[in-house]
Amino acid sequence: MFQAKTSQDSQDSSPTPPAAPSRALEWLWQNFRDVKRPHILDCGPAYQATFDVLLKRGAKLYITDLVTLARQADPKFIRRLGKGTVFLIDKFLEDLPPIPPDSLSAIACWHLLDLLPRDALPGLVARLWSYIRPGGVLFCLLREPYLANGAGTRWWFDSLMVLGSEVESKVPFPYPVLTNREIERLVPSGNVKTFLTRFARREILAIK
């Protein structure tokens, strides 16, 4: 059983990807081994592989494709303020389904933090954090500084501990790279684990 609210760009099935074993997911599922029915929010496009993997694990799954929404850079989320602009994060997050506070075991953000402007991130993290139960985690991918392109690459759960992805996109990332220190400052608990990968990204687990 899952609750899904997806964008028009969400996919019903996933192409065959190269496998990417995930140390962050290994840590996550090891720590959730005694959680019989984890509640999980996936902020990316809907893939059948994700449904199959997480529902088989017994999860209650929410899907809302904020990642594609962020890539579209819709001007309705931007308000001019003097000589600058402000990203309307509350309006952006209206696409989220109803989620009880302190109920989620994990949220998969993928590259969402790489796709939004800096001024939007505190509001984003605060909202998502309110949904996570004590001991739950916010999981995301962050690009390394030397990775200029790849903002259009889609990710999913190929298995509990393996990430699936499309062929690397050539779409450039729109904002400067986030540092580990910036992530720690965004997270209310400050408890952040960083796992380095071979595909020019960091796997981040922020633990409540």
- Which residues of the chain fall short of a pLDDT of 50? 1-2, 4-17
Q: From CA 138, how far away is CA 154, in angstroms rounded?
A: 18
State residue 123's pLDDT score: 97
State residue 18's pLDDT score: 59
Q: From CA 95, how far away is CA 156, in angstroms rounded?
A: 20
pLDDT digits (tens, 9 = 90+) for 149-179: 999 999 999 999 999 998 889 999 999 999 9
Say which residues have a Cβ less than 8 Å from residue 160's Cβ, sequence separation at least 6. Answer: 25, 29, 53, 57
Q: In 3D, which of 183, 202, 46, 38 has the Cα closest to residue 125?
A: 183
Domain boundaries, the chain: 2-207
To the question of domain 2-207 being in CATH 1.10.10, the answer is: no
